[in-house]
Amino acid sequence: MKKLDILTRLKKAGVIAVVRGETKEEALSACQSIVKGGLKGLELTFTVPQADQVIKELLSIYKDQKDVVIGAGTVLDAVTARLAILAGAEYIVSPCFDKETAELCNLYQIPYLPGCMTIDEMKTALKSGVDIVKLFPGSAYGPSIVTAFKAPMPQLNIMPTGGVSLDNMKDWFDAGVITVGVGGNLLAPAATGDFDKVTEVAQQYVAKLQEIKG
C-alpha cells in the first residue's frame, strides 16, 4: 500500500521542514543541511524556482534512505500537483483545500495535506479522502484548538504549520497532532548562506522530538 507507507513515514518523521528559497541551489542546500541535522521530512514548496527539478534531485540523493520522505508544498492546483507527482513527490501540501487536487492525489495514491482553518473545511477534506489535515496557519489558533476540533471529529489527523517552534512543539503534540510543519526559524539562516546553522537548528528539533516522544 503505497499511500499507507508514505503516511506512516510522515508520522514517523514527526517534524516536516517547509523549505522555501530564492534559488534552486539555496533550496537544495537547505534540504541537505536539514537531513544532515537528522530531520527526515522535507516539503519543498513550489515558490522555489524549478521546484520539480529540486524534488527530482533530492529523490536521487536520498534514494537509499527510505526514512527520508520528500513532498511538494504550496501546491495551488491539480496541474501543479501532477507536475510534482511526476517529478516523484511522495505527498502534496496546499495552503487551502482544492477538490481537483484531492481527486488527482487519490488517483495516484499520494497523500494530500490541504490547509484548513475551520471545522467545515476539515469535514470537506475528510469526505474527499484526505488523511492528514494541515492546520494553517497554526499561529492563528494555538495548540488548544486541536482538542476543540478533535472533540466532534476524533478521527482527524492534524499537522499544524505556521507558528510551530521549539518552545511550543510539545504543546502541539500534547494536544494530539500527528506531526508538525516548521519553516521560518529553521530556514532563516539559509537566506544568508549559513547552512551549518540550519543543520544545528534541525538537530535541536530532533532532540526536542525525541524528548517529546520519549
Closest CA to 76 of 119, 45, 107: 45
Distances (CA, A) of 78 to 60, 109, 110: 24, 14, 13
Distance between CA atoms of residues 165 and 176, nearest Å: 16
DSSP three-state, residue 95:
coil
Catalytic residue among 3, 26, 40, 134: 134
22 is catalytic: no
Angstrom distances, CA of residue 52 to CA of 86, 108, 171 = 8, 17, 34
The verdict on whether 211 is a catalytic residue reads no
Alpha-carbon distance 183 to 163, whole Å?
Answer: 9
Classify each residue of 152-164 as buried b or exposed e, where b means 16 or more C-beta atoms within 10 Å of its C-beta: eeeebbbbbbbbb
SS3 of residue 163 by DSSP: coil
Q: Residue 168 carries which DSSP code?
A: T
Inter-CA distances, 208 with 198, 203, 212, Å: 15, 9, 6
Catalytic residue among 26, 43, 57, 90: 43
Active-site positions read 43, 134
